């Protein structure tokens, strides 16, 4: 299968992920620029409390819906039952998120803002999963466009006419999620119809038991992974650690960039791995290629950030990045390990070892909380960031050992690491050269020249550092 087919298949998954990622990146710049000191931490912690509860609540129902959707005969009843389950769960889960948030953010009305945000996210996340099961890509794209536009316009309007406050941002996010969720609900009910889910209590109980049996095992794993990745936010919010605003805003940017790099590829690789496993073969080579791609891609992203990106961030926001570059590197490395672990755990996933995955993620989450809390108390931002990085590294090592003997270490790690080092060295030479011979150039002109030159190096590194032939097989 040629490269064009591979690229077309990969790009099918991009637009739905691209719009929220780009709007999220815009909001990070915008909010960090206008928030007073300390408010970005309050915003980030509140948002993460909502996200944890929403992912836990909508995640297991949504994954079960996708798993059973194609095999259900009466889709109208199944959809109605699942929607009713979500509507029953959402208020309780939102209440839990709101209660947790007030322990870390000591501001009025945070409770109601988080409750509304979590409720909207739960509806949106589940309905997006329902659309994914029915391959309603265009409808999903319209929904995320509505969501992004509503959120951005409302935040700008609040800040312009009411005031700059993180609670207004949370409220605007809530409205955007509700608008997108109501649109998706209209699409789904129009496609499948609607019925009273309690007209046949036995069928409702059967469907509830069905989705619970598959999805419940995912909840501990989801909780563990979210806590591993986010314990630094809670520690920073609890201790009021200095320079937390710049650290968390950059980490949010890293998470958004990681989603753009890894999620479209994951959505293509995942069904191929399952298909090959059902044929009796585990597709270890495509995992190796995915690993090499992520190592090179994340390394190139770090080069761009290090040489021109951080300056751009400071110029756009008008604020200096006060967090140490070492701390920022710890944060970036943690995001990279989190993204890469998802691929190496596929062998455990296809063998239905979800309890083991849940155990590994919970252990890593406890380590993350312990290290972040101790590190934050005694060493501030250095301790928090290093603690979370060590927990991410622990999880990565644990899931990688399940297929370590099958891996070609040279193709998976060594070659992409060498190409990444080559790219960093050339990027450094470009940077030094521009600084010495381009002293009369403006900062943005130097950045453009550097990016143009580094783009060529990036393409070469990706070409030589990744085994693209394995991805071609996934398009068959």
Indicate if the pLDDT at residue 389 is higher than 80.
yes
Structure confidence at residue 62 (pLDDT): 82
How many C-beta neighbours within 10 Å does residue 148 have?
Answer: 20
Dihedral of the CA atoms 54, 55, 59, 62 (nearest 10)? 50
Distance CA 294, CA 413 (A): 10
Greatest mean pLDDT among 76-85, 240-249, 267-276, 401-410 lies in: 240-249
Structure confidence at residue 191 (pLDDT): 82
Please report, for residues 270, 291, 321, the alpha-carbon distance to residue 285 in angstroms, rounded to integers and kept in the order given: 13, 10, 40
Distance CA 198, CA 370 (A): 45
pTM of the complete model beyond 0.95: no
Please write the tens of the pLDDT for every residue from 199-224. Answer: 777 777 877 787 777 777 777 888 88
Please write the tens of the pLDDT for every residue from 239-293. Answer: 889 899 999 999 999 988 888 788 767 766 766 777 777 777 777 888 888 889 9
Q: What does the block give as tokens for 358? A: 């849940």
Greatest mean pLDDT among 71-85, 102-116, 173-187, 284-298 lies in: 173-187
Q: Decide if 442 contacts 407 (C-beta within 8 A).
A: no
Please choose, from the candidates 27, 39, 45, 29, the residue with its C-alpha nearest in 3D space to the C-alpha of residue 321: 29
Q: Decide if 237 contacts 105 (C-beta within 8 A).
A: yes
Distance CA 47, CA 41 (A): 10
Residue spans per domain, the chain: 1-12+257-476, 35-216
């Amino acid at each position: 299968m040629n490269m064009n087919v591979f690229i077309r298949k990969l790009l099918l998954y991009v637009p739905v992920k691209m719009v929220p990622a780009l709007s999220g990146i815009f909001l990070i710049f915008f909010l960090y620029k206008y928030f007073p000191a300390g408010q970005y931490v309050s915003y980030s912690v509140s948002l993460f409390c909502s996200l944890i509860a929403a992912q836990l609540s909508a995640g297991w129902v949504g994954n079960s819906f996708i798993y059973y959707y194609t095999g259900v005969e009466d889709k109208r009843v199944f959809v109605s039952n699942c929607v009713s389950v979500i509507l029953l769960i959402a208020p309780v889960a939102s209440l839990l998120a709101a209660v947790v948030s007030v322990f870390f953010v000591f501001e009025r009305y945070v409770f109601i803002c988080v409750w509304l945000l979590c409720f909207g996210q739960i509806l949106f996340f589940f309905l997006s999963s329902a659309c994914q099961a029915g391959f309603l890509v265009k409808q999903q794209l319209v929904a995320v466009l509505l969501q992004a536009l509503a959120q951005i316009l409302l935040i700008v309007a609040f800040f312009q006419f009411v005031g700059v406050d993180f609670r207004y941002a949370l409220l605007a996010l809530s409205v955007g999620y509700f608008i997108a969720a109501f649109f998706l609900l209209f699409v789904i009910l129009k496609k499948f119809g609607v019925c009273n889910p309690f007209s046949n209590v036995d069928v409702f109980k059967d469907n509830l038991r069905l989705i619970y049996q598959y999805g419940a095992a995912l909840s501990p794993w989801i909780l563990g992974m979210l806590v591993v990745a986010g314990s630094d936010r809670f520690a920073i919010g609890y201790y009021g650690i200095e320079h937390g605003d710049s650290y968390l805003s950059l980490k949010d940017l890293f998470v958004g960039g990681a989603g753009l790099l890894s999620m479209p590829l994951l959505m293509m690789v995942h069904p191929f791995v399952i298909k090959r496993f059902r044929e009796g073969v585990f597709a270890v080579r495509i995992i190796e290629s995915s690993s090499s791609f992520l190592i090179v891609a994340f390394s190139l992203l770090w080069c761009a950030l290090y040489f021109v990106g951080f300056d751009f961030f400071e110029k756009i926001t008008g604020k200096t990045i006060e967090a140490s570059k070492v701390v920022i590197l710890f944060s970036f490395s943690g995001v990279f390990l989190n993204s890469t672990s998802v691929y190496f755990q596929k062998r455990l996933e296809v063998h239905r070892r979800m309890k083991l995955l849940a155990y590994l993620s919970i252990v890593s989450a406890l380590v993350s909380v312990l290290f972040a809390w101790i590190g934050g108390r005694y060493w501030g931002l250095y301790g928090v960031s290093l603690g979370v990085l060590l927990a991410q590294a622990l999880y990565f090592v644990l899931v990688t050992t399940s297929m370590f003997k099958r891996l070609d270490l040279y193709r998976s790690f060594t070659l992409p690491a060498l190409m990444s080092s080559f790219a960093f060295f050339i990027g450094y030479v470009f940077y030094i050269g521009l600084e010495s011979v381009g002293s009369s150039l403006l900062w943005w002109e130097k950045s453009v020249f550097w990016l143009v030159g580094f783009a060529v190096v990036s393409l070469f590194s990706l070409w030589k550092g990744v085994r693209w032939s394995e991805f071609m097989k996934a398009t068959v």
